[in-house]
């Protein structure tokens, strides 16, 4: 029997208990041993809960118990999760985490401590919820030079954008609906400003490069400025708008990483990733295009990923599984130097039209679909040059969106 503890009995933590209970037989078979929940750490009490008698409020009870071999860290946040994880690993207890903030900020150190103590720090649930993506990157696409990852990594924003597209509604209206449905939090900033997506692409980029991609250095733009009128043009261009996280090497082998809303064409595999689903597109130099799709959030899918880590840890007691993510922070190409294509809705004035023709030699006019717009696409062009030129338009713009190519 392998005893585990769950830190944090919230949505994901209670999901872990639920998955272990529901699929007990399969999980024992796959793990090679029965997985038993010995403790659940939470400061709250849960009277009447089936796991009521497992609840403890002192981490030491768990860390000091040599019977506990694996710990699920489903608390979220940096503190005290960081300290608890570190202490557990130092005790040789493997930690399986759904905590993207902690993984994005401290994984290299925690992975090193795990190696030094012959245990594992695993975090399949930190990106893409139930979609297997961490393990495919670490175990499956090992013969590849992965040169590009593009992800739809946040279910809330994808739900909002899908609804805006379908209903022709504006951001604020749909956000309110999403909040009422429980798909968006009361304080939606982490989702709609792209911070959540940013943590996740930092994790994927680090695994892609084997070095440390710091989330703080990733250019991040949210979806709050996207309007119903932008979708009118997306439709006309046979595209849609998605909040994408992109991590890719350019031709000079600089690493570009950013999070922003992008126009994406119908022939891209991510075009069809709608509603709360996530999709992760991975390009390798031998494999070409591949894509992984599923539920990027939610109690049971996320918990299922945590439990798959528990099974992996159980299969590797006393042995650290290879994971390349070293401390060395990789320098990202500044966003100013990112070369992309753009869609622009300039204000429809003769001055603007003349200036666009002067400044953007490769511009392509998009048929006007909204009164007041002079719409065009341009690029590829360096972001800095684009921004400088756009600032010169005498009457200003209504919006500009990058195009994923």
In this structure, the dihedral spanned by the alpha carbons of residues 237, 242, 243 and 249, taken in order and rounded to 10 degrees, is -70
Give the binding range for its own copies (CB under 8 A) out of 25-33, 64-72, 185-193, 213-221. Answer: 25-33
Q: Which stretch binds its own copies (CB under 8 A): 48-56, 68-76, 296-304, 389-397?
A: 296-304
Instruction: Give residue 253's region: left, alpha or beta (phi > 0; psi -120 to 50).
Output: left
Among 58, 225, 272, 334, binds its own copies (CB under 8 A): 272
Query: Segment near its own copies (CB under 8 A), from 18-26, 42-50, 169-177, 351-359?
Result: 18-26
Min CB(130)–its own copies separation in Å: 4
Give the separation between CA 218 and CA 259, rounded to whole angstroms: 7
Residue 378 CA to residue 385 CA, distance in Å, equals 12
Residue 41, both tokens: 């750490």
Verify binding: residue 118, its own copies, rule CB under 8 A: no
Phi first, then psi, for residue 223 (nearest 5°) are -110, 10
Binding mask 365-394 for its own copies (x = CB under 8 A): ------------------------------
Six-digit token pair at 53?
């008698």
Q: Which of 3, 23, 173, 399 binds its own copies (CB under 8 A)?
A: 23
Applying CB under 8 A, which of residues 53, 60, 253, 322 lies at the interface with its own copies? 322
Q: Which of 33, 34, 49, 144 binds its own copies (CB under 8 A)?
A: 144
Of the candidate residues 1, 21, 32, 405, the single one contacting its own copies (CB under 8 A): 32
Give the DSSP letter string of 160-199.
HHHHHHHH---HHHHHHHHHHHTSS-SS-HHHHTSHHHHH
From CA 149, how far away is CA 202, in angstroms rounded?
11
| Min separation Cβ 124 and its own copies, Å | 7
Q: Is 225 a catalytic residue?
A: no
b/e sequence 388-405, b meaning 16+ C-beta within 10 Å: ebbeebeeebbbbbbbbe
Contact status, residue 157 vs residue 195, Cβ threshold 8 Å: no
Judged by CB under 8 A, which stretch of 42-50, 131-139, 157-165, 389-397 contacts its own copies?
131-139
Q: Assess contact for 155 and 277: CB atoms under 8 A.
A: yes
Candidates 154, 308, 333, 341: give the one binding its own copies (CB under 8 A): 308
**288 touches its own copies by CB under 8 A:** yes
Compute the least distance from the CB of residue 318 to its own copies, in Å: 12
| Candidate list 218, 257, 263, 307; residue touching its own copies; CB under 8 A | 307
Closest CB 314 distance from its own copies, rounded Å: 10
Cross-strand pairs, 376: 344, 365
Site string for its own copies, 221-260 (x = CB under 8 A): ----------------------------------------
Residue 24 binding its own copies, by CB under 8 A: no
The correct pick among 21, 26, 167, 185 for binding its own copies (CB under 8 A) is 26
CA-to-CA distance for 168 and 154, rounded, in angstroms? 21
| 199-218 footprint of its own copies as x/- string (CB under 8 A) | -----------x--------
Nearest to 85 by CA among 43, 113, 104: 113
Instruction: Kindly give, in sequence order, each residue whose CB lies less than 8 Å from that of residue 171, ignoring residues fewer than 6 positions away.
Output: 160, 164, 223, 224, 225, 226, 227
| CB nearer to its own copies: pick between 295 and 402 | 295
CA separation, residue 29 to residues 1, 25, 314 (Å): 12, 6, 11
119 binds its own copies (CB under 8 A): no
User: Which residue has 């190696």 as its token pair?
Assistant: 115
Q: Which of 38, 54, 200, 242 is catalytic?
A: 200
Question: Residues touching its own copies: how many (CB under 8 A)?
Answer: 54
47 binds its own copies (CB under 8 A): no
Taking the alpha carbons of 130, 136, 139, 140 in that order, is the dihedral positive or negative?
Answer: positive
Which residues contact its own copies (rule: CB under 8 A)? 19-20, 22-23, 26-27, 29-32, 124, 130-132, 135-136, 139-145, 210, 269, 271-272, 277, 284-295, 298, 300-301, 303-305, 307-308, 310-312, 315, 322, 324
Active site residues: 200
């Amino acid at each position: 029997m392998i005893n585990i503890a769950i830190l944090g009995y919230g949505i994901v933590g209670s999901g872990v208990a639920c998955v272990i209970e529901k699929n007990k037989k399969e999980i024992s078979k796959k793990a090679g041993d029965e997985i038993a929940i010995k403790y659940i750490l939470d400061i709250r009490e849960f009277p009447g809960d089936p796991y009521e008698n497992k609840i403890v409020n002192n981490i030491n009870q768990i860390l000091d118990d040599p019977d506990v071999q694996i710990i699920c860290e489903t608390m979220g946040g940096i503190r005290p999760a960081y300290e608890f994880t570190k202490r557990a690993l130092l005790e040789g207890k493997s930690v399986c985490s759904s905590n993207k903030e902690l993984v994005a900020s401290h994984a290299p150190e925690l992975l090193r401590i795990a190696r030094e103590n012959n245990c594992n720090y695993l975090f399949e649930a930190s990106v893409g919820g139930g979609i297997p993506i961490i393990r495919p990157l670490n175990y499956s696409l090992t013969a590849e030079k992965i040169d590009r990852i593009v992800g739809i990594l946040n279910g809330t924003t994808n739900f909002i954008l899908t609804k805006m597209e379908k209903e022709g509604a504006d951001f604020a209206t749909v956000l309110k609906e999403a909040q009422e449905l429980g798909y968006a939090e009361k304080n939606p900033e982490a989702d709609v400003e792209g911070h959540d997506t940013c943590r996740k692409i930092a994790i994927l980029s680090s695994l892609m490069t084997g070095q440390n991609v710091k989330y703080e250095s990733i250019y991040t733009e949210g979806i709050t400025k996207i309007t119903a009128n932008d979708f009118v043009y997306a439709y006309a261009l046979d595209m849609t708008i998605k909040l994408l996280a992109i991590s890719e090497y350019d031709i000079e082998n600089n690493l570009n990483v950013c999070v922003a809303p992008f126009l994406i064409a119908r022939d891209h595999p991510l075009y069809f990733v709608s509603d709360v689903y996530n999709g992760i597109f991975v390009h390798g130099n031998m494999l070409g295009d591949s894509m992984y799709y599923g539920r990027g959030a939610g109690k049971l899918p996320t918990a299922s990923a945590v439990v798959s880590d528990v099974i992996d840890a159980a299969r590797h007691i006393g042995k650290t599984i290879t994971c390349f993510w070293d401390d060395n922070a990789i320098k990202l190409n500044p966003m100013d130097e990112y070369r992309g294509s753009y869609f622009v809705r300039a204000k429809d004035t003769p001055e603007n039209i003349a200036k666009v023709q002067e400044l953007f030699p490769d511009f392509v006019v998009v048929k006007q679909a909204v009164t007041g717009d002079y719409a065009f696409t341009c690029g590829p062009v360096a972001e800095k040059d684009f921004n400088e030129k756009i600032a010169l338009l005498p009457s200003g713009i209504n919006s500009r969106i990058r195009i994923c190519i």
